[in-house]
């Protein structure tokens, strides 16, 4: 058995800019993780993937080795299953991981039973979430709904899922499960997960979420998107070889991603919390619209991008210097955050995209007024995903915030006709570590 977990993420600063290689993003890894557990099964040539915390979340695949050593993955039709019940992140991760493994001369048809387990904070369905009846001590909940019904909170479930899944398959198939994940292996798993996630997502993202899943908290500069263009598709004649060449990148000439994980973190004495507003956002359509405005108004958008980048990098400098020990100037941090938010609202208004919509502005301003709260932002693409608050790491401050949120009522958003629901604090912390090998005892009752 091989079990790997990967963390969720929050893009504290750099949303939209980081899609362009010219700009960097500040990425925090989170304590919420997704685990993939790979076990051998006796069903030759078949892989069954289960996500047992959700209803109707079992996907069965037949795996066909092609003469080119590419593995074609075909979902079995099951009575009552509609095409919507395909899970493209699982399916593509499986096909790419097995095809990569096949290039490395690993023999035989795969026959695996794979279990996916996710920490609760990825989804908003607290009310229906139950303890595991077979193991009440388990950290994993039974959500009692289907995946489609479980509103996502925006912590990067698909990136953590794809990263843990491809990593567990590669380690298991290549008998690497007993080893630590070396830097070189991590680099290859990162490349493979980026490729699979990008394909599944329709090549819209910068890949910061996969970087966080592999490396944890970091300053991120994306890879050149052309790396994927030269790869072709699973159907192309030379695909398997190209995939292995691109993932392994033996002479380090292909990938130009820059990930600095050494010196970044929240200043000592501060912590983050995330407020889930139980709405969720459609990131791809927001990105398309912002990029459309960027292309239509190159001069105006460039000066906004440059100003935002400067503010973001000032924030990065504060986070880098204080995590190495010096006293943080809370007032500077507060000002940094306010400067970034103001530029984000300008971007919001000019592009006509609700990146920091008025209801989130109200919530952020109200939380920031609480004694001991430094400030907060709409992370990543913004919108109605969970927002981040940075505060003094003291019980009293957290308690004040919790009490405030209990009775918080958002004003109606007349512009976007959206009402945010009950605001709930997620139970996540910032975490430095990326992917890790897990021990199996914590899965009792689930596998």
Ligand X SMILES: Nc1ncnc2c1ncn2[C@@H]1O[C@H](COP(=O)(O)OP(=O)(O)OP(=O)(O)O)[C@@H](O)[C@H]1O
Residues that bind ligand X (CB under 6 A): 51, 87, 89-90, 116, 118, 122, 147, 152, 154-159, 161, 283, 385
Residue 116's binding partner among ligand PMV, ligand X, none (Cβ under 5 to 8 angstroms by kind) is ligand X
| Helix or strand run (H / E) with residue 70 | none
Select from 160, 5, 169 the least CA-distant residue to 71: 169
Question: What residues numbered 361-380 form the site for ligand PMV, per CB under 6 A?
Answer: 379-380
Among 2, 4, 16, 246, binds ligand PMV (CB under 6 A): 16
> Shortest gap between Cβ of 436 and ligand PMV (angstroms)?
22
Residues in contact with ligand PMV, counted by CB under 6 A, come to a total of 15
Nearest residue (CB) to ligand PMV, 15 versus 267: 15
> Shortest gap between Cβ of 385 and ligand PMV (angstroms)?
6
Select from 261, 204, 317, 248 the least CA-distant residue to 7: 261
Residue 112's binding partner among ligand PMV, ligand X, none (Cβ under 5 to 8 angstroms by kind) is none
Do 360 and 378 form a contact (C-beta atoms < 8 A)? yes
Cα first-last separation, the chain:
11
Going from the C-alpha of 229 to that of each of 176, 266, 395, the distances in angstroms are: 30, 37, 50
Tokens of 399: 């308690």
Which residue is listed with tokens 């090549």?
A: 203
Among 19, 97, 304, 344, binds ligand PMV (CB under 6 A): 19
What is the C-alpha to C-alpha distance for residues 382 and 387, in angstroms, rounded to an integer?
A: 8
What is the C-alpha to C-alpha distance for residues 145 and 139, in angstroms, rounded to an integer?
A: 18
> Shortest gap between Cβ of 9 and ligand X (angstroms)?
7
3-state secondary structure of 47: strand
Residue 287's binding partner among ligand X, ligand PMV, none (Cβ under 5 to 8 angstroms by kind) is ligand PMV
Does residue 354 interact with ligand PMV by CB under 6 A? no
Q: At what angle do helices 358-368 and 330-351 cross, to 10 degrees?
A: 170
Does residue 32 interact with ligand PMV by CB under 6 A? no
Select from 5, 22, 74 the least CA-distant residue to 46: 74
Tokens of 1: 């058995």
Does residue 121 interact with ligand PMV by CB under 6 A? no
Does residue 381 interact with ligand PMV by CB under 6 A? yes
3-state secondary structure of 430: strand
Secondary structure letter of residue 223 according to DSSP: P
Angle at 84 between CA 47 and CA 118, to 5 degrees: 60
Tokens of 269: 């004495």
Tokens of 406: 């209990």
Site string for ligand PMV, 271-290 (x = CB under 6 A): ------------x---x---
Question: What residues numbered 207-246 form the site for ligand PMV, per CB under 6 A?
Answer: 208
Does residue 206 interact with ligand PMV by CB under 6 A? yes
Pairing label, strands 71-75, 270-276:
unpaired
> Shortest gap between Cβ of 117 and ligand X (angstroms)?
7
Nearest residue (CB) to ligand X, 116 versus 279: 116
Among 11, 38, 47, 214, binds ligand PMV (CB under 6 A): 11
What is the C-alpha to C-alpha distance for residues 231 and 210, in angstroms, rounded to an integer?
A: 19
Residue, CB closest to ligand PMV: 380
Nearest residue (CB) to ligand X, 24 versus 206: 206
Question: What residues numbered 324-343 form the site for ligand PMV, per CB under 6 A?
Answer: none
Q: At what angle do helices 183-201 and 88-103 cross, to 10 degrees?
A: 140
Nearest residue (CB) to ligand X, 190 versus 330: 190
Question: What residues numbered 146-175 form the site for ligand PMV, per CB under 6 A?
Answer: 154
Nearest residue (CB) to ligand X, 120 versus 320: 120
Residues that bind ligand PMV (CB under 6 A): 11, 15-16, 18-19, 154, 205-206, 208, 283, 287, 379-381, 385
């Amino acid at each position: 058995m091989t079990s790997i977990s990967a963390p969720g993420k929050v893009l504290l600063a750099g949303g939209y800019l980081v899609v362009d290689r010219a700009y960097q993003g500040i990425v925090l890894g989170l304590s919420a993780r997704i685990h993939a557990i790979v076990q051998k099964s006796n069903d030759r040539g078949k892989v069954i993937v289960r996500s047992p915390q959700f209803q109707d979340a079992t996907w069965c695949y037949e795996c066909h080795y092609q003469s080119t050593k590419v593995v074609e993955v075909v979902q079995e039709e099951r009575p009552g299953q509609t095409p919507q019940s395909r899970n493209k992140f699982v399916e593509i991760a499986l096909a790419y991981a097995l095809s990569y493994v096949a290039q490395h001369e690993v023999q035989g048809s795969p026959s695996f039973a794979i279990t996916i387990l996710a920490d609760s904070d990825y989804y908003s369905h607290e009310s229906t979430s139950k303890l595991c009846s077979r193991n009440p001590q388990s950290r994993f909940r039974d959500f009692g709904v289907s995946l489609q019904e479980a509103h996502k909170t925006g912590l990067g479930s698909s990136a953590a899922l794809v990263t843990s899944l491809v990593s567990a398959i590669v380690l298991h198939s290549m008998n690497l499960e007993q080893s630590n994940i070396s830097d070189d292996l991590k680099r290859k798993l990162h490349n493979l997960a980026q490729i699979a996630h990008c394909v599944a997502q329709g090549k819209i993202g910068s890949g910061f979420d996969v970087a966080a899943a592999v490396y944890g908290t970091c300053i991120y500069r994306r890879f050149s998107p052309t790396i994927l263009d030269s790869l072709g598709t699973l159907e192309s004649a030379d695909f398997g070889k190209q995939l292995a060449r691109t993932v392994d990148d033996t002479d380090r000439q292909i990938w130009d991603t820059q990930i600095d994980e050494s010196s970044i973190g929240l200043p000592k004495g501060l912590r983050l919390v995330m407020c889930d507003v139980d709405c969720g956002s459609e990131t791809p359509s927001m990105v398309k619209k912002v990029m459309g405005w960027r292309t239509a108004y190159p001069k105006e958008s460039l000066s906004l991008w440059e100003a935002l980048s400067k503010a973001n990098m000032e924030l990065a400098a504060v986070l880098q210097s204080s995590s190495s020990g010096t006293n943080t100037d809370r007032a500077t941090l507060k000002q940094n955050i306010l400067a970034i938010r103001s530029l984000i609202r300008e971007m919001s208004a000019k592009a006509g995209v609700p990146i920091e919509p008025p209801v989130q502005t109200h919530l952020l301003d109200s939380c920031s007024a609480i004694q001991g709260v430094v400030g907060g932002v709409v992370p990543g693409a913004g919108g109605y995903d969970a927002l981040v608050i940075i505060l003094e790491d003291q019980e009293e401050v957290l308690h004040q915030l919790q009490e405030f949120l209990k009775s918080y009522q958002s004003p109606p958003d007349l512009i976007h006709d959206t009402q945010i629901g009950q605001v709930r604090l997620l139970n996540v912390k910032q975490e430095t570590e990326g992917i890790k090998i897990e021990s199996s005892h914590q899965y009792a009752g689930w596998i």
